């Protein structure tokens, strides 16, 4: 009840084969596979080309400001 049985899937597959034919489905499958490979390659190349950056060091004023903030947080946490 509410689920799709194997027979319903086979009927849908048969209708799709009749509408598009095996040759067109094969072409669609290979095109989709090529698109996925191209996408994976582009994502991999982008990660390789991106240089690793070191985090910027804080200046003296920023460091003091961060310490002041930490002190205020600690004061609020103490009962």
30-46: per-residue pLDDT in tens? Answer: 899 999 999 999 888 76
Give 43-59 pLDDT, tens digit per residue.
887 667 666 666 666 67
Residue 9 and residue 15: Cα distance in Å, rounded? 10
- Does the pLDDT at position 1 exceed 60? no
CB 34 within 8 A of CB 26: no
- Enter the pTM of the model: 0.40
């Amino acid at each position: 009840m509410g689920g799709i049985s194997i027979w319903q899937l086979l009927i849908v597959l048969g209708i799709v084969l009749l509408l598009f034919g095996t040759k067109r489905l094969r072409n669609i499958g290979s095109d989709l596979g090529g698109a996925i490979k191209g996408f994976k390659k582009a994502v991999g190349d982008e990660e390789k080309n991106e240089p690793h950056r070191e985090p910027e060091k804080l200046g003296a004023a920023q460091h003091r400001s961060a310490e002041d903030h930490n002190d205020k947080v600690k004061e609020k946490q103490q009962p």
